[in-house]
Each structure stands twice: as C-alpha cells, then as structure tokens.
Amino acid sequence: MKVLDLFRREAGVGGLRFLVLAALSGLSNAGVLAIINVAAANVQDKADNFRNLVLFGLAIALFVVTQRTLMIEVCEKVERLIDRMRTRLVERARRAEYLDLDEVGRAEIYACLTRETQILSQAAPNIVIAVQSAILVGFTLLYMAALSETAFLLSAGFTLLGAMIHLSRSGEVKRQLRAAFERENALIEGLSDMLDGFKEVKMSTDRSDAIARRIARISAEVTRMRIGTQTAYATDFVTSQVTFFILTGIMVFVVPNVSQAYIEVVVMTTTASLFLIGPVSNVVGSLPIFANANAAAENITRLEARLGSVGAGPAAVAGRFAGFRRIVLDRATFSHHAAGGESGFRVGPVDLTVERGVTLFLTGGNGSGKTTFIRLLIGLYPASSGVIRVDGAPVTAAALADYRNLFSVIFSDNHLFAELYGIQEIDAALADELFALLEMQHKSKLEDGRFTVTKLSGGQRKRLALIGSLLEKRPICVFDEWAADQDPHFREKFYRVVLPFLKDRGITVLAITHDDAYFDLADIHVDMKNGGLNVVRTASAMAE
Ligand SMILES: Nc1ncnc2c1ncn2[C@@H]1O[C@H](COP(=O)(O)OP(=O)(O)OP(=O)(O)O)[C@@H](O)[C@H]1O
C-alpha cells in the first residue's frame, strides 16, 4: 500500500495520534448508534431518556471534535507532503543528468507534477473517511458481539468475504491503472506534438487528421481501461450493498428460527447490521480513489527513483576551474544508445587540447558527430571512456557542475529565456554595448533582468540569446551553428566583429560551423567524420 506508506512515512499520517483520533471518532459514531438503540427500547422511562439524551449529545460532540480535527490535520499534512514532494521532484529533475531526463521524457514528469499530485490531494479526505469507516465497522462488529454471538459471526464472516473478494481482484485493477497511466502519458505526448508543432499541423490537413486520429485512438484506449476499472468497482460496490442486504435479511428471516436467545436482540442487531451498510459503503466507495492514489504514489516514487537522488553529494567548489589554462580530452569517447539494443553512434576516441583564449571551429557533414562531440566536451554527455582534464586534473563527477559553469552555450535548438536567470548583476555598460553591436537596441531592451520583447524573427531571437549568453561572462562560449539563421550582413558581423570582440576579452570560443568562407578566421580548425576528429589547421599564433 504505497499511498499509506507515503502518508505515514512522510506526512506522519497513520501515527498514534491519527489512530487515536480515528478510533475516538469511530467510537463516538458507534456510541450514537448504541445510545439510539438503547433509548428506542426504553422510550417510556423518562429518567433514562434524559440520561440517554445527554449521552447522545456528548457522543455527537466527541464525534464533531475528533472527526473535524482528524480531517483538517490529515488534509493539512498531506498538502504539505505534496508541496515537499513537488519541490523535491523539481529539484531531482533539475539535478538529473541530461541523458537521464531525456530518457524519462517530459510527459511523465508533467504528469507526476500535476495530475498525480492532484490525485493524492483529492484522495486524502476520502482515505481518512475510509479508515475511520473501517474502524467504525470494527466497533459495530464488537457491539454486535456483545449483543449476539451469532449476529457477530455472520457479520464478521460477510465482511471478511467481501474483503477477500476485493483483494483477489486488486492485482488486476492495479495492472489496469498502471497501463492507463502509461497510455495517458502517451496522450500528453500526442498533445505536445500537436501544440509544439502547431504551425506544421495547421499547414497540413493530412498531418492534422493523423495526429487527431492518434490522439483519439489513445484516448479511446484510456477510456476503455478506465471503464474497465470503474466497472470492477461498480460491481464491488453493488455486491457489497447486496451482501449486507442479504446479511440483514438472514438476521431477520433465518436466525430467529434457529436461535431462541437471538429473538430478544433481533431489533438491535438488525439496526446494527443496517448501520454497517453506511461505513462499509464508504470503504468500498473509496476503493477506486484509494487504488488511484496508490498508483499515483507508486508513479511518483518510481519517477523519483529514476531521476536519482538529491543527496548533498560532494560539495561543489564554486569557481574551482575559473583560472583554467587548458582543457585536454584524453582518448575521450561517447556512444549514443541505439534502439533495439544495437550499438549506437560513437564519437572518439578524441585527443584534443583547447588552450584558454583560442577560437576553435568545428566542421563536418550532417551527422558526423559535431553536436555529440561538443556535448561531450562541455560535460553534458558523460565520457563513455577516456577522460577530460582541466590543467591536468580529471573532471570527476563531483567537479562536473563546476566544469559546466565554465561554458555559456547557445545550442542549435536553443531555448531563449526572456529572464536572465542566474545573472546576479547585469553589467549595464556591456549590455548596451552588446545591444548596439548586435543591432537590437530598437527591438528589445533589458528591464529588471528581462528582455522586454522576445517575439521576434528567428535570427533576432538568436541575437538576443547571444546577448544573454555574453552577459553571463563565462570564460568559454560555445555556439552550435549560431550564424545559420543570420542574414549575410550578420553572418559576416558574427565572424569578423563578434568573434574578435570575444577574443580581445580573452574568451575561448568553440563554434560549430558550416560557413567555409570564414574557416580561416579560427585559431584551430577541426573537422569531424563518422565520429572521428581531425585537426585540419592550427594557426601559427597558437603554435608557441
Ligand atoms: N539522442 C540521440 N540518440 C541516439 N543517437 C543519436 C542522438 N543524437 C544523435 N545521434 C546519432 O549521432 C549521430 C551524430 O549526430 P550529431 O547531432 O552529433 O551530428 P552533427 O554532426 O551535429 O550533425 P548536424 O550537422 O546535422 O547537426 C547521428 O547521425 C545519430 O545517429
């Protein structure tokens, strides 16, 4: 029972206080029944009547206090647990390695952060009522035992039978819920395809229809699975109601014929067995909610495990590489995983030295491995073998975050952040200089650390990204085909003005490029073919 484990372990729900409150509330609820029963049997006795009225009032008062406290406390604790869990998930996602996050996929992370936490939140009051109802069933059975052994054995037997029937089916229901979760994630993926690729979808009715058909097909599968579980629960619910109708019938029609002693308590036991129907219905009615919450708790726990630990780990030494002189790749390789267990594309083994302050161009045909190599070099992909050293010291897992902080990267499919996250103090003079250099001063500006306008052309958005990147003031700038979507004027300006501007400031530049007209502007030109790296040219200036 993952959800109960979770609530007990992380929210303290299910501790002694919770059980005492639930027991008191169940006891007061059963007390109301017992008092009504006793009072109904003695309506003529005025003195007894008054005493029973007082007890009746006390039982209700106890019920109100305990039940209210219980529900408010549990919901509050569960909401706090969900808040902690959400924060922890975001933290784990943030700290996860790029490849791990890529493998988990966005759909599952979105689902756990939104839908699954919402299921837990909505389930909390239902679970309280179910636990409290189960306790009430226990008390009512005890009350029955005090009235009549036969009635108790019958009721306990029927309750046990119902529980066993449900348990025998819970494995199948659990499997169905897991399958529904996975298909719902596929649904989110389909929706993302439609929304992220909306322009492309809008431009082709065939594509639009095909996406709609796929979404409709998955939606229908999810619906079938959900109906399957709901049908099982509806059957459980009706079976449990009928079981108790039959139980009550047996108590009235059958047992009095076989037991003389029972006749004296028949009214009270029948009332008690009727009283059982409410709490039993609560328990049975909450089973789907409980199963959903259980599946949600399992999904969140599984995701947390997949994303890895957020443990403190080795302390980061901020700026440990800030004064670096050279980065050396020593027989470094990286292999992509391929579908179907085949070995994937491999880059390397690469031997390369990047001295501080150089401008390095990386060229090669499509699919030759440039992007993969750059991701290996900047520490986004872990080396499958070999090592990266900074001034002789290997970049270990503990040093990876500090190593990555050396680089400011504009990926070919970059995300333009309107807000300049992570820049403590923006160098206003540099910002003005960059806006002018990239001719963006009339298009957008910086206000409170944000670009005022980001709805711009593709080339202009890349220029804003460049401004944001340079304001980070990292010692190494990486550009993955930055100039690809610039007009000839800006392409020229990028190679002839921006790159020298960076070189003058001692910034190391690693640029993937296809612009052969400018290859000679690099200090080092390396070319890639089939994942292998070949140094084409090293400028004499760097030969010292
Ligand atoms: N996420 C991935 N998973 C598995 N294989 C991948 C992945 N990304 C790339 N590859 C493989 O690596 C090869 C090199 O890809 P990469 O993106 O490094 O090439 P590139 O030289 O940057 O190409 P381009 O000039 O087209 O951008 C691809 O041909 C592909 O087979």
In a domain, 485, yes or no: yes
The string of pLDDT tens digits covering residues 419-437 is 888 888 889 899 999 999 9
332, 257: one domain: no
Asked if residue 243 has its Cβ within 6 Å of ligand 1, the reply is: no
Domain termination site, one of 279, 307, 335: 307
Rounded to whole angstroms, the Cα distance separating 448 from 325 reads: 35
Domain termination site, one of 278, 307, 336: 307
151, 277: one domain: yes
Q: What is the ipTM of this complex?
A: 0.97
Mean pLDDT of 377-401: 91
Domain termination site, one of 280, 307, 334: 307
The string of pLDDT tens digits covering residues 95-147 is 888 888 888 887 888 888 888 888 888 888 888 888 878 888 888 888 888 88
286, 364: one domain: no
Contact indicator for 415, 331 with CB cutoff of 8 Å = no
169 versus 440: the higher-pLDDT residue is: 440
Q: What is the CATH number of the domain that holds 147?
A: 1.20.1560.10
Asked if residue 364 has its Cβ within 6 Å of ligand 1, the reply is: yes
246, 392: one domain: no
In a domain, 436, yes or no: no
12, 108: one domain: yes
382, 525: one domain: yes
158, 281: one domain: yes
CB within 8 A of 231, min separation 6: which ones?
none
386, 493: one domain: yes
In a domain, 124, yes or no: yes
Boundaries of domain holding 511: 326-406+474-542
Residue with CA nearest ligand 1 atom 27: 366
- Which pLDDT value is given to residue 131? 81
- Which pLDDT value is given to residue 409? 93
CB within 8 A of 445, min separation 6: which ones?
435, 451, 452
525, 399: one domain: yes
Residue with CA nearest ligand 1 atom 7: 336
In a domain, 197, yes or no: no
Q: What is the CATH number of the domain that holds 340?
A: 3.40.50.300
In a domain, 181, yes or no: no
Query: Which segments of 12-45 does DSSP mark as H helices, in order?
Result: 16-41
280, 400: one domain: no
Number of domains in the chain: 2
In a domain, 217, yes or no: no
DSSP string, 106-175: HHHHHHIIIIIHHHHHHHHHHHHHHHHHHHHHHHHHHHHHHH-HHHHHHHHHHHHHHHHHHHHHHHHHHH
289, 336: one domain: no
Rounded to whole angstroms, the Cα distance separating 87 from 117 reads: 11
Asked if residue 344 has its Cβ within 6 Å of ligand 1, the reply is: yes
In a domain, 355, yes or no: yes
The string of pLDDT tens digits covering residues 67-99 is 888 888 888 888 888 888 888 888 888 888 888
In a domain, 139, yes or no: yes
What are the structure tokens assigned to 67, written together? 């039940």
Distance 408 CA to ligand 1 centre (A): 21
294, 333: one domain: no
Residue with CA nearest ligand 1 atom 5: 336
Inter-axis angle of helices 16-41 and 46-95, nearest 10? 150
- Which pLDDT value is given to residue 349? 93
Average pLDDT, the chain: 84
Inter-axis angle of helices 16-41 and 117-147, nearest 10? 40
Residue with CA nearest ligand 1 atom 28: 367
What are the structure tokens assigned to 101, written together? 């996050």
Asked if residue 367 has its Cβ within 6 Å of ligand 1, the reply is: yes
